[in-house]
């Protein structure tokens, strides 16, 4: 299941890196398969 980090932040104050959070979730018994970014940084794009 994919869970956006923003959903977790709605319920819990998180002062951790994504990797540290993934490690803690794994230690709690929730297997984290991978962490992947969902936003892209576009520069120099012209539309129109």
pLDDT per residue as tens digits for the range 29-42: 999 998 888 777 77
Half-sphere exposure of 18 toward its Cβ, with a 13 Å CA cutoff?
11
Does residue 11 form part of some domain? yes
Residue 4 in any domain: the answer is yes
The answer to the question of residue 48 being in a domain is no
Name the token pair of 37. Answer: 């970014």
| Structure tokens, 16 | 């951790």
Q: How many domains does the chain have?
A: 1
Look at residue 22 and tell me if it is in a domain: yes
Parent domain of 24: 1-28
Residue in the block written with tokens 């923003």: 6
Q: Look at the pTM and tell me if it is higher than 0.85.
A: no
Residue 44 is assigned to a structural domain of this protein: no
pLDDT, tens digit, 9 for 90 and up, residues 1-14: 888 888 888 988 88
* Residue 29 confidence (pLDDT): 95
- Whether 23 is covered by a domain: the verdict is yes
């Amino acid at each position: 299941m994919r869970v956006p980090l923003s959903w977790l932040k709605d319920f819990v104050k998180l002062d951790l890196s994504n990797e540290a959070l993934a490690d803690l979730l794994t230690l709690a018994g929730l297997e984290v398969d991978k962490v992947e970014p969902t936003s892209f940084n576009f520069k120099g794009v012209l539309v129109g």
